[in-house]
């Protein structure tokens, strides 16, 4: 299987530590997340700067993995990242991360599917793009499920995009 370069999309404040766990799995090459200071600088420069930063992050990537936490769906920049990825012909897939423990050993509530909030070609993007809920009842089991399936769901997302 080809080692893919992916862009990870997630809501920073509540999900950064959960997202770090997935990004560090090492099955795929992921984007380097912005530090708090870098992100504050980008945000402070306005919407045009944020769009440029996102486009730069998407450059050379083959798939966007949306790490879905309790507050991910419907967020302006998450939606933008999804649509930019889709419009560039990249694979797009969602993975729920609410069951992974954060740095304080807490899990969160399952969020809504972000693809339900995006219209594409007269239907919801969720009718095309998949969003996976990892198997298992513990944080360790959910992590293991993500680790063992991440490469496969990325390949599947790329194939889905090729056909849509």
Block means of pLDDT (10 residues each) for the chain, 164 residues, are 82 87 77 61 85 92 96 96 97 97 94 97 97 97 96 96 96
Q: Are 28 and 154 in contact (CB under 8 A)?
A: yes
Torsional sign, CA 97, 103, 108, 111: negative
Q: Does residue 96 contact residue 135 with C-beta atoms inside 8 Å?
A: no
H helices of 60-138, in order, are 76-87
Q: Name beta bridge partners: 4.
A: none
Kindly list the structural domains of the chain, giving each domain's residue range(s) and its CATH number in brackets, ordered by start.
5-162 (3.40.50.450)
- Rg of the chain (C-alpha set): 15
Model pTM score: 0.92
């Amino acid at each position: 299987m080809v080692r893919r370069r992916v862009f990870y999309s997630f809501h920073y404040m509540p999900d950064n530590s959960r997202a770090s766990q997935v990004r560090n799995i090492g099955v795929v090459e992921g984007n380097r997340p912005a530090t708090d200071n870098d992100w504050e600088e980008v945000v402070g420069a306005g919407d045009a700067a944020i769009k440029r930063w996102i486009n730069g992050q998407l450059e050379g990537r083959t798939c966007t993995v949306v790490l879905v936490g309790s507050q991910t769906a419907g967020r302006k920049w998450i939606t933008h990242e999804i649509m930019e990825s889709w419009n560039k012909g990249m694979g797009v897939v969602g993975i729920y991360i609410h069951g992974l423990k954060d740095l304080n050993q807490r899990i969160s509530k399952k969020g809504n599917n972000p693809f339900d909030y995006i219209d594409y070609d007269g239907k919801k993007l969720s009718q095309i793009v998949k969003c996976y809920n990892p198997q298992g009842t513990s944080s360790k089991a959910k992590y293991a499920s993500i680790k063992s399936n991440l490469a496969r769901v990325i390949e599947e997302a790329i194939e889905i995009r090729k056909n849509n």
